[in-house]
Amino acid sequence: MSLIRAALGWPQIAGLGISLVIAGQFTGWNYGLQAGWANLVVATVLMAILCFGLALCVAELSAARPHAGGLYAYCQDAFGRFVGYLVGVAVFIALSIGTGAAATFISAYCTHVLGFGGTWLKLMLFAVIAVVHLRGIGEAMRWMVAAGVLSVVCIVLFLIGMAPHFSLQNLATPELPLSVTPAGVFSCVPFAIWLFISIEQSAAASEEVEDPGRAIPRGMLVAIGTLLVSAIGILLLAVGGGGINHLATADDPLFAALTSPLAGGASPLLAKVVGVGGMLGLVATMFSLVYSASRQLYALARDGHLPAFVGNTNRRSAPYLTIMLVALIGVFAASVSPDRILLCVVLSLAASYVVLLAAFIQQRTAHPNLARPFRAWGGRATAAVCLLLALLVLSASFQSDPVALGGLGLLFGAALLVHFLYRGTRTRQQSTESGLADV
Q: How far is 174 from 166, CA to CA, in rounded Å?
A: 19
CA-wise closest residue to 287 among 436, 180, 141: 141
Looking at residue 250, its pLDDT comes to: 87
Strand partners, 209: 8
Cα angle vertex 385, ends 370, 198, to 5°? 80
Q: Which pLDDT value is given to residue 168?
A: 93
Specify the amino acid at residue 103. A
Query: What is the distance between the alpha carbons of residues 97 and 85, in angstroms, rounded to a whole number?
Result: 18
pLDDT at 435: 42
Q: How many residues does the chain have?
A: 439
DSSP string, 238-267: IHHHH-HHHHTT-SSHHHHHHT-GGGTT--
- Give the chain's end-to-end CA distance (angstroms, integer): 32
- What is the reported pLDDT for 266? 61
pLDDT of amino acid 427: 53
Of 292, 313, 352, 229, whose CA–CA distance to 16 is shortest? 292
Distances (CA, A) of 140 to 8, 15, 296: 12, 12, 16
Q: Find, among 59, 323, 22, 19, the residue nearest to 142 by Cα.
A: 19
Which residues on adjacent β-strands are paired with residue 8?
209
The helix (H) or strand (E) run that includes residue 201 is: none
Domains and CATH numbers, the chain: 10-402 (1.20.1740.10)
pLDDT at 424: 58
pLDDT computed for residue 369 by the predictor: 86
Structural contact between residues 106 and 340, judged by C-beta atoms closer than 8 angstroms: no
pLDDT at position 87 is 93
pLDDT value for 167? 93
Predicted local confidence at residue 156, as pLDDT: 92
Q: Within the chain, which residues score under 70 in pLDDT?
A: 1-7, 68-69, 137-140, 265-266, 400, 424-439
Q: Do the beta carbons of residue 363 and residue 370 sit within 8 Å?
A: yes
